[in-house]
């Protein structure tokens, strides 16, 4: 069974769980609070199916939904924890050249403007990069910075097609806001010279944005294809990322892109750091379908895979991994990074520790080296295969479930259910975790929630 079928099957099983789930009570002193329930009104004017990680700015959290809004193309929203207020900032449309279906993380510049990507729409129907400008009077103005598929070779969009991840920039890994004028970097899941996806840069000059592909994925055993998570830019302006597919066994790769002296004018050099499932075995003990990477201060890479590992299922239920530059060999060829599996999901039947980690834009790793994430299925909420969980993996390798979704509302899962690919968690200074579910919430529409988990 291919990856698409397996993911679709997982969602189908989860839907069955929603239909037959039973409410359970959360354990321990921690609390889970629904901050906003989507689509409680006809037509979902406030959006439906939130999928992006929440962007934190003081007490305000920004995010997007892939559906709903005034025109059905999704929304950009803000939730203010100071006054418990949800605000719809912009409604995407689905007609003409409007970008729609926002994907990936948001970034914010020093003036409070927001930037992101949309998978569909745009002038050429290949998706777009956009900016939401914060005006002095409190209103917001939307503008498209670049529409993909502006250049083609036959049916291939050579400048990229259908972005499914967010943007990065110099200084982001250090916690700085975007300056509003320097280069932006991102990926498209398709397009490029061979239609296997691309890494692009955007440059602002004279008030106009220009796009350049800095790497086209080859899609053969020597390279990846279908990049669908946000890259990490380090302090030396190297880009680090993963692809969903491609590599030695077509199970995804980790890669690095190193720039020349000039980030725009000079060529970038790609190195494949690791081929997932390079042993070509059925269960991929080292993981399959990677995403969500972060780097630590020593240059080690941490991430998740949606499948693989040594869990109960025939294809594995996913892993948390660490890559380090240890000059390991793959099928007799040296020079690759070494993969340490930090945790295998679902070691026991029932998958109460979570199943199929939700490969987000980046995983959440705190200053003590603890990793936080979510899973699509598993946990103890509802009924088998259950409705997903928030987990914590300590730096010592001990995993615990912080919360299992679908513990309230019976079959309606009013506390939320499932988690979406591309989503992610945010944490405040007190260790409170903020996130979203694309399902559950309102009894009628099941369009998802924004939540807070407090330890």
Q: Per-residue pLDDT tens for 123-136?
A: 999 999 999 999 99
Find the domain containing 206 and state its range. 96-275
- Rounded Cα–Cα distance for residues 442 and 306 (Å): 28
Instruction: Let me know if residue 434 belongs to a domain.
Output: no
Instruction: Let me know if residue 130 belongs to a domain.
Output: yes
pLDDT value at 13 more than 60: no
Instruction: Let me know if residue 166 belongs to a domain.
Output: yes
Q: How many helices (H) and strands (E) does the chain have?
A: 1, 33
Instruction: Let me know if residue 68 belongs to a domain.
Output: no
Q: What percent of the chain has pLDDT over 70?
A: 93
Could you give the angle at the alpha carbon of 266 between the alpha carbons of 262 and 267, nearest 5°?
135
What total of structural domains would you count in the chain?
1
Would residue 12 be called left, alpha or beta, if left means φ above 0 and alpha means ψ between -120 and 50 degrees? alpha
pLDDT value at 87 more than 60: yes
How many other C-beta atoms lie within 10 A of the C-beta of residue 70? Answer: 16
Beta strands (DSSP E) in 166-261 are: 184-188, 198-205, 208-216, 224-225, 232-233, 239-243, 245-246, 253-258
Task: Report pLDDT for 360.
Answer: 67
**224-233 mean pLDDT:** 96
Instruction: Let me know if residue 368 belongs to a domain.
Output: no
Q: What is the pLDDT of residues 173-207, one digit of tens each?
A: 999 999 999 999 999 999 999 999 999 999 999 99
Instruction: Let me know if residue 122 belongs to a domain.
Output: yes
Q: What is the pLDDT of residues 399-414, one digit of tens each?
A: 999 999 999 988 889 9
Instruction: Let me know if residue 2 belongs to a domain.
Output: no
Residue by residue, DSSP assigns 367-383 as TTS-EEEEEEE-SSSSS
- Rounded Cα–Cα distance for residues 184 and 80 (Å): 27
Instruction: Let me know if residue 212 belongs to a domain.
Output: yes
- Rounded Cα–Cα distance for residues 160 and 191 (Å): 4
The residues pairing with 67 across neighbouring beta strands, listed in sequence order, are: 48
Tell me the residue length of the chain. Answer: 455
């Amino acid at each position: 069974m291919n990856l698409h079928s397996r993911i679709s099957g997982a969602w189908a099983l989860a839907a069955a769980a929603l239909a037959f789930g039973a409410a359970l009570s959360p354990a321990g002193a921690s609390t889970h609070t629904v901050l906003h329930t989507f689509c409680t009104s006809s037509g979902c004017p406030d959006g439906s199916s939130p999928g992006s990680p929440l962007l934190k700015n003081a007490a305000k959290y920004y995010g997007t939904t892939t559906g709903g809004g005034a025109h059905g193309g999704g929304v950009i929203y803000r939730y203010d924890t100071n006054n418990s207020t949800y605000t719809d900032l912009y409604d995407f449309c689905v007609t003409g050249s409007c970008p729609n279906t926002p994907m990936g993380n948001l970034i914010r510049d020093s003036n409070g403007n927001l930037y992101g990507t949309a998978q569909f729409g745009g002038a050429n129907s290949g998706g777009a990069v956009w900016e939401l400008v914060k005006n002095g009077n409190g209103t917001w103005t939307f503008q498209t910075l670049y529409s993909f598929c502006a250049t083609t070779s036959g049916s291939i969009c050579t400048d990229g097609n259908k972005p499914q991840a967010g943007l990065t920039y110099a200084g982001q890994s250090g916690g700085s806001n975007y300056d509003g004028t320097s280069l932006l970097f991102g990926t498209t899941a398709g397009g490029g010279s061979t239609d296997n996806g691309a890494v692009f840069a955007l440059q602002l000059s004279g008030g106009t944005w220009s796009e350049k592909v800095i790497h086209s994925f080859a899609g053969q055993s020597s390279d990846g294809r279908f990049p669908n998570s946000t890259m990490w830019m380090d302090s030396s302006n190297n880009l680090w990322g993963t692809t969903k597919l491609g590599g030695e066994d077509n199970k995804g790769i980790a890669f690095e892109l190193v720039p020349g002296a000039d980030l725009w004018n000079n060529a970038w050099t790609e190195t494949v750091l690791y081929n997932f499932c390079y042993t070509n075995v059925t269960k991929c003990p080292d993981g399959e379908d990677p995403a969500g990477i972060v780097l630590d201060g020593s240059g080690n890479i941490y991430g998740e895979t949606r499948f693989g590992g040594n869990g109960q299922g025939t294809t594995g239920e996913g892993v948390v991994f660490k890559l380090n530059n240890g000059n390991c060999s793959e099928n007799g060829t040296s020079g690759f990074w070494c993969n340490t599996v930090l945790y295998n999901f679902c070691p026991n039947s029932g998958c109460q520790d979570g199943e199929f980690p939700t490969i987000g834009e980046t995983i959440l790793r705190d200053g003590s080296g603890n990793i936080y994430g979510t899973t699509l299925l598993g946990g103890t909420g509802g009924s088998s295969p259950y409705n997903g969980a928030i987990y914590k993996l300590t730096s010592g390798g001990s995993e615990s479930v912080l919360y299992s979704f679908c513990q309230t509302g019976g079959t309606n899962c009013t506390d939320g259910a499932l988690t979406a690919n591309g989503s992610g968690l945010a944490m405040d200074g007190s260790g409170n975790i903020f996130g979203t579910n694309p399902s559950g919430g309102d009894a009628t529409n099941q369009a998802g929630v924004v939540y807070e988990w407090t330890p």
